[in-house]
C-alpha cells in the first residue's frame, strides 16, 4: 500500500495536470496519484439530469481516454473515473463504484452516499433560487466588469 498519494482538486482554481504523469491541457476535477507505485486516478464529476447520467459518463470517459493512454505509455497505471450525481441527488452507479474502489464500504459508504446526495440537492436548490439574480448570472457567465459592479452593490 502506497503512502505517498497526492491529490489535486479544482475547488476555487483550475488544476494543472501533473506533468510527471502526462502533459495535457485537459483539466479534470480531481487527480489522485502515487509516484511510488505509478498509479493515477483521473476523476471527473458531472451533475446532470438523472435521465442523462449514462450519456454524461460516456462523454467524460471518451474525453479522458487519450490522457489515460498517454500516462500508460509513460509507465503509469491510469484509471479514468467519470462520476455522476444527478441534480436532484440521485447517486449514479459510477460514483458508488469510485467510492468502493477506494475502500469506502459498509456504513461509511451509506453515510457518504447520503451526504453527497443531500449536498447535491441543496446546491441544486440554491442555483434554482439564484437563477434570476443578475449578479450571480454575471459571475457564472464570466463578465468580469459587471461582476465588479455587483460586488459594490452588495
The model carries a pTM of 0.78
Contact, 69 vs 42, CB < 8 A? no
Helix spans in the chain (H): 53-73, 93-101, 106-130, 134-141, 144-153
- The answer to whether the beta carbons of residues 64 and 28 sit under 8 Å apart is yes
Grid cell 503512502 in the structure block, residue = 3
Element spanning 90, H or E: none
| pLDDT, averaged across the chain | 86
So what's the pLDDT on residue 53? Answer: 86
Q: Beta strand pairing status for 39-46 and 77-84?
A: parallel
Residues 104-132 have pLDDT tens digits of 999 999 999 999 889 888 888 888 888 88
On whether the CB atoms of residues 27 and 20 are closer than 8 A, the answer is no
Mean local confidence (pLDDT), 46-69? 90
Q: Is the pLDDT of residue 152 over 70?
A: no
So what's the pLDDT on residue 137? 60
Query: Domain residue spans in the chain?
Result: 6-153
Confidence of residue 138 (pLDDT cuts 50, 70, 90): low
Which residues, 6+ apart, have CB-to-CB distance to 80 below 8 Å? 42, 44, 60, 61, 64, 65, 67, 68
Task: Map grid coordinates 440554491 to a residue.
Answer: 126
| 29 to 8, 26, 49, 78, 143: CA distances (angstroms) | 8, 10, 19, 15, 23
Amino acid at each position: 500500500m502506497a503512502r505517498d498519494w497526492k491529490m489535486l482538486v479544482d475547488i476555487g482554481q483550475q488544476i494543472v495536470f501533473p506533468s510527471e504523469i502526462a502533459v495535457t491541457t485537459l483539466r479534470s476535477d480531481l487527480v489522485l496519484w502515487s509516484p511510488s507505485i505509478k498509479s493515477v486516478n483521473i476523476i471527473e464529476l458531472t451533475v446532470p439530469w438523472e435521465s442523462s447520467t449514462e450519456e454524461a459518463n460516456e462523454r467524460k470517459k471518451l474525453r479522458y481516454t487519450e490522457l489515460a493512454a498517454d500516462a500508460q505509455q509513460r509507465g503509469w497505471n491510469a484509471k479514468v473515473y467519470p462520476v455522476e450525481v444527478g441534480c436532484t441527488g440521485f447517486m449514479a452507479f459510477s460514483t458508488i463504484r469510485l467510492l468502493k474502489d477506494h475502500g469506502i464500504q459498509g456504513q461509511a459508504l451509506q453515510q457518504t452516499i447520503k451526504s453527497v446526495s443531500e449536498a447535491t440537492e441543496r446546491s441544486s436548490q440554491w442555483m434554482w433560487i439564484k437563477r434570476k439574480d443578475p449578479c450571480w448570472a454575471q459571475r457564472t457567465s464570466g463578465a468580469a466588469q459587471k461582476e465588479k459592479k455587483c460586488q459594490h452593490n452588495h
